Structure 1
């Protein structure tokens, strides 16, 4: 069934892969960007392009009212520039607001116009509850001990979207066109070390696979939480050296935990030593999701060849 789909954040790394997939399926797509300079990009992808400020309630309300969509997809983030994991909340400050204020604005606009379904971006890479096994399902909570603003923003987004009857897609760490350029540059400069034993797990997902899962959630009017990750959660001591090899870089340096804590910050230490990966079994079972890149091993190699 052809639908009118409103993609908030259509010019982002995921939006640029999602919009063409929706268009190819016959959907009528309105995609937003904060920058008028990116309108042409969205139009070339096949969408009706709109400038919208996700942090301005009036701007969001007007854009949604004009589009009158049947589903809203929330992909708004503001993650750019050199990764600053040491100052994670500062690096994610605008994204945190988009996941709180921006989510609230979209839900209010959806209610005002009568949009019946919302799909929203969340995160599941290493941030599962840090007890028990190394791989978590949707039944397991995200790390409840994380008190930073980024974690609080994700909790808010998930709570209000699920309460509204929507779907929360917990994407793994993205890789693919434009998603990991800054990280790869750090790897090539040997500025992305393995911390401690590097036994903390992460989950990855290629942008194209994340987009295809999102299309399924839109078309099936999915509800609840889904982990959108590949088949192979893995510890940092496996994926980081492999990423370096694929990038033609020297193996990453290793630094002890006691040294990493003041240099890289608490988040980096947690990710690399205690992080948890995630299972995609529910998304495969309930959405019928099939991955083009079942493992980061295949994806890293192809992307960096």
Structure 2
């Protein structure tokens, strides 16, 4: 198929584009600057500069590539775009990404309709943000939590926009877990090595993880199966912070994380970090494995963390 990967130069796009090419697809991948075009061409794609917030730019990219499917992977959370990770001020940290998940999604869907693109696959997020009621592990039938009154509220609203718009258009929404793998590990383990990432309260909040290579393989399958609906793209072992965080520290050769009470963490790290660590809900991957025939290289973060940090 002809595949347009919007946001192909990101950490997931860099793992996905070569896999699509290897499986015989003709790939056009977008970047926000001409400086990244050489990278995309080395990965086997035709590189195109596109501004996801400009309808004309999006329309031109879709018209030129004539895709059979558009894969929406546009975000703006890299240090270059958004600065250092900042969960306390997540509304500011994710401001660019939220626009790409609202305005950018609408521009891509409008271009898809205008040019007769029959299929659409979009990135969503499902790591610790399942609805905070009932059990600790959610399915695709469960909504993401609105995080009302926190700095994550605009981001959760943007995720709901992606999901509602893409499902209305008959496409597939992939709720990826917390990414780890090439290009992500330094940002993940640096605060742990500095003992700036403690276990909050009892650490009972659940999180689902996914290695970038497994996220890429699931996305390719969603493309090839012309999947429709919501799929949780996470590993087999959603787990509480009290388990994964000390293990990640051990794999990174760091000291065991400190424990701090929620009342102390809240003014330092913000409400979102406290909610994640104490009340988070992970997700089940049963649907993706059954309907896409997806097999994970790293079924558990235990294997994946160790492999990445050995």
Q: Is the structural similarity TM-score above 0.5?
A: yes
Secondary structure, counterpart of 2:114 in structure 1: helix
Match of 2:173 in 1: 168
1:251 to 256, 261, 281: 256
Determine whether 1:52 maps to 2:76: no
**Are 1:8 and 1:73, in contact at CA under 8 Å, matched by a contact in 2?**
yes
Deviations 1:11-63 (A, max 9, x none): 00000000000000000000000021110000000000000011111100001
1:96 to 95, 98, 103: 98
Match of 1:236 in 2: 241
Output the CA distance in 2 between the equivalents of 1:156 and 1:20.
29
User: What is the number of equivalent residue pairs in this alignment?
Assistant: 303
Output the CA distance in 1 between the equivalents of 2:198 and 2:130.
22
Structure 2 residues not aligned, in runs of 5+: none
**Are 1:127 and 1:275, in contact at CA under 8 Å, matched by a contact in 2?**
yes
Determine whether 1:133 maps to 2:138: no
State the 1:144 CA deviation. 3.8
**Are 2:30 and 2:48, in contact at CA under 8 Å, matched by a contact in 1?**
yes
Structure 1 residues not aligned, in runs of 5+: none
Match of 2:13 in 1: 15
Output the CA distance in 1 between the equivalents of 2:189 and 2:147.
30
Secondary structure, counterpart of 1:65 in structure 2: helix
TM-score, normalised to structure 1, is 0.98
Deviations 1:118-167 (A, max 9, x none): 00000000001111111001111211453611000000000000000000
Output the CA distance in 2 between the equivalents of 1:26 and 1:65.
21
Moved over 4 A (4+): none
* Pairing of 1:180-219 with structure 2 (within 5 A): 180-219=185-224
**Are 1:210 and 1:228, in contact at CA under 8 Å, matched by a contact in 2?**
yes
State the 1:250 CA deviation. 0.7
- Aligned-pair Cα RMSD in Å: 0.8
Output the CA distance in 1 between the equivalents of 2:158 and 2:77.
14
